[in-house]
Structure 1
């Protein structure tokens, strides 16, 4: 087995033929080339398998795994993370695009920040299904480098900055988390755990193009629950209440000093749970009425 590379890009995919080619090329053409690509195919039934095999044949940095059963997007992400061998890990969606300097800039930011920086992320633009930029995220002043966990948590939860989940992590720190949890909003849950462990570094360049389109599995109402937790009964899953519980657990399982844990729990409550009380009420209504 070859030596572990500095960077692992974990790219799970299911029936991603429409955008996978562009996404893979954007990873393969990074200016930071010392990487592995963990390409995990969750029993796709379209042309995804052929695309994966073609790229794997062309690029020895790709470790292609095809699963015989679709166990859901959450399982596929966590499995790809377990297979990663790099000192740093980037999670990638099969429809997003990285500009060429994404990895180079994030690696530099982690090195410059030292071990206290556990996640580096660039500024982000939103693209549509045709690849056109539709929005510049207002993230130039997003301060993930604040000195205490509760300040960092309040900062990114207030900004609803879930896109940070696609930054570059220190692998040893990422492995101390519980991984992606079986609930909608598991991106903000794992970011909360990482914020309890260290600071985030902003790369001021717009190097990440996050695609938002009508057909993505993780953004289709009730199908969000099935994406993250296959087999769940959506009516009785209580997704918003579960997310609140997972966010609180992200703090309580992080072994913070008692005072900082209390302040971090308060930050979760005031910046996320209370402003979204209607979601919890909707969970109850759906369970009672079926609507």
Structure 2
């Protein structure tokens, strides 16, 4: 039987939550899926967990890298390995309800044929799996008729979690993929919004975990996630994401008028409302701390 969707699991030293994440993917009630794991040379118990699961489940393909080539490479590599029309990334610490893939496929079938991404509503869980937040995402369809309207919707909402929805594989491959920049999820979503509308599954089928060990909670150490051997000093992570958002629009092939409107959306919906990030980049380049952080240190 030919699979309809690929669930790609990028992982590096994810043993703490990996078994639960894998179980949630294996429990999907959509039977026609393939599960592809790319292990970025983990040094903990990740390999043993993955090999045991692959031995039990013929849908799983396990790929282990000889060296850690960075998180961005690992995410992009999984898209290359996919063999189905639809694709979703499953982080090694998140949970999906059993209906996740099936409902996304059903919404794709009923949606505008130009739709490029479908995602369910999301709840936030903590390290122990307890629900700690319901996201206010009931109106987050981002199905507006123009790219700049779709961009403004999710950029203003800071809705990075929709990145983990179900993508049309061929459209995903038409983008520049995961860029080596903090905020790469928003950059990719921007490129996708330039290609077509999104759609929302009304059920809460995605549980995104927040915990102290995830890279997004580690300040400038986030940069090392992309390139483990690179220096993060002078990386200007917040400034670079705005630049990449603009580049994504510029390279999208949109008609000139709509491209200009989309370019104008980046500073108004993203950069200016988050001016403290670029300001922090400047302070970091000067080897100084922002005034607010110095006050915390003195306290």
Which bracket does the TM-score occupy, shorter chain normalised?
A: over 0.9
Partners of 1:238 and 1:272 in 2: how far apart? 16
Query: Given that residues 15 and 45 in structure 1 are in contact (C-alpha distance below 8 angstroms), is that contact kept between their aligned partners in structure 2?
Result: yes
Does 1:258 pair with 2:256?
yes
Partners of 2:142 and 2:187 in 1: how far apart? 15
Q: CA deviation at 1:4?
A: 5.1
Partners of 2:146 and 2:272 in 1: how far apart? 22
Query: Given that residues 2 and 32 in structure 2 are in contact (C-alpha distance below 8 angstroms), is that contact kept between their aligned partners in structure 1?
Result: no
Residue 130 of structure 1 aligns with which residue?
128
Aligned pairs for 1:120-269 within 5 A:
120-269=118-267
Q: CA deviation at 1:228?
A: 2.1
Out of 53, 77, 95, which is 2:51 matched to?
53
Out of 71, 74, 79, which is 2:72 matched to?
74
Partners of 1:114 and 1:145 in 2: how far apart? 9
Q: C-alpha offsets along residues 230-261 of structure 1, whole Å, 9 cap, x if unaligned?
A: 33322211111110100001101100000100
* TM value normalised by structure 1: 0.97
Q: C-alpha offsets along residues 42-92 of structure 1, whole Å, 9 cap, x if unaligned?
A: 111111100000000001110100111011111111111111111000011
Partners of 1:27 and 1:153 in 2: how far apart? 29
**CA-based RMSD:** 1.1
Q: C-alpha offsets along residues 123-177 of structure 1, whole Å, 9 cap, x if unaligned?
A: 0000000000000000001131111000000000000000000000001111100
Partners of 1:4 and 1:63 in 2: how far apart? 15
Q: CA deviation at 1:273?
A: 0.9
Residue 296 of structure 2 aligns with which residue?
none
5+ residue gaps, structure 1, are none
Query: Given that residues 117 and 199 in structure 2 are in contact (C-alpha distance below 8 angstroms), is that contact kept between their aligned partners in structure 1?
Result: yes
* TM value normalised by structure 2: 0.94
Q: Secondary structure at the match of 2:233?
A: helix
Aligned length: 289
Q: Secondary structure at the match of 1:237?
A: coil
Partners of 2:156 and 2:204 in 1: how far apart? 21
5+ residue gaps, structure 2, are 290-299
Out of 80, 91, 94, which is 2:92 matched to?
94
Residue 9 of structure 1 aligns with which residue?
7
Q: CA deviation at 1:275?
A: 1.2
Q: Secondary structure at the match of 1:117?
A: coil
Partners of 1:166 and 1:228 in 2: how far apart? 18
